[in-house]
Amino acid sequence: MSAPIRRRRITLILAAAALALPLTAGCGALDKAMDCVAAADAIATSVSNLEQAVSNIGDNPLKADEALDDIDAELDSLKDKTDNADLSKAVGDLGKGVDSVRTAIENGDETPDLAPISDAAAEIGNICTP
């Protein structure tokens, strides 16, 4: 499955979960739904930025580094906005995936493994699905 399709699928799953949870549970579920929506937005943006950075790495490695810095800042902001422990862990795993890609790029890999990013996004989908 291509990354854009996977990203849209994850975003749709998270959005559906965010809409369903307030109808079926109390305030804690509403908080979780809001955390999931914020995570879905950040993940979609992060994955898109990462794909852009990786696709342009041969042309301009500095752009890839800037994109990764932006993703790190986005993830730091998201960590500050969520109080759900499972979601925080998945966001942390996504950050580790970004770090892994950064290290691979610094070591000259022009096609770094994006699987840790996909795995973390899937985990967030599992956490947010009712």
Rounded Cα distance between 26 and 108, Å, is 49
Residue given tokens 């549970």 in the structure block: 25
> What are the residues whose beta carbons fall under 8 Å from the beta carbon of 81, sequence distance 6 or more?
35, 38
pLDDT at position 129 is 64
> One-letter amino acid identity for 4?
P
Res. 15: pLDDT tops 50: yes
**Confidence at 23, pLDDT banded by 50, 70, 90:** very low
Question: Tell me: the pLDDT tens digits for 70-128?
Answer: 777 777 776 776 677 887 888 888 889 889 988 998 898 888 888 888 788 777 777 76
> What is Dmax (Cα atoms) for the chain?
50
Residue, of 31 and 21, whose pLDDT is higher: 31
